[in-house]
Amino acid sequence: MKQLLKLCQQEEKKLGQLGLQRNNAQTRINDIEQQKQLLSQMVSDYTQFSVKGGTAMMLQNSAQMIQVIEPMQKQLLRKQLLLQQEHQRMDNLWRRQLGRQQGIHWLYQERKQQLQYQQDRQEQKQLDDLAGRYATT
């Protein structure tokens, strides 16, 4: 019974750790999404600046900035895709661990209930035996 309780506690700990990893992956995905949005806004701003016109040097600077930002956007997109795959993997592990943890917890509760039932029966039998002895004397 103690071993089952210890196993139950270990499984809960694993579940908590996987939950943290899953949440961390989601946070990193959200951070990258914000970075992508900022870069997209920068490209939009530089594009609008080019459309409004300006000196040749300003147009050239805008075009260069857009060229610098585009690889950064692609890199963030690749990183985001990899993190999404990692998050999905962690989510699957977490779900499996949740099922395992719940199953072991159920088994622990079931065994605990059976043990209590046996103890209650044994106690009742002892009381019945004592009552029978006093009734016959």
Tokens of 26: 């989601």
pLDDT: which is higher, 49 or 36 = 36
- Specify the pLDDT at position 18: 95
- The total of structural domains in the chain comes to 1
- Specify the pLDDT at position 22: 95
Q: Which helix (H) or strand (E) holds 55?
A: none
Q: Inform me whether the pLDDT recorded for 93 exceeds 70.
A: yes
Q: How far apart are CA 48 and CA 86, in angstroms?
A: 37
Q: Which residues contact 50 (CB under 8 A, 6 or more apart)?
A: 59, 62, 63
- Specify the pLDDT at position 16: 95
Q: How far apart are CA 97 and CA 91, in angstroms?
A: 10
Q: What is the residue range of 14's domain?
A: 2-136
Tokens of 55: 């000196």
pLDDT, average across residues 69-98: 96
Share of the chain above pLDDT 70, in %: 94
Angle, nearest 10°, between helix axes 56-136 and 2-52?
160
- Specify the pLDDT at position 32: 96
CB 65 within 8 A of CB 42: yes
- What confidence tens digit (pLDDT) does each residue in 66-80 have? 899 999 999 999 999
CB-CB neighbours of 106 under 10 Å: 11
- What confidence tens digit (pLDDT) does each residue in 117-132 have? 999 999 999 998 888 8
- Specify the pLDDT at position 136: 66
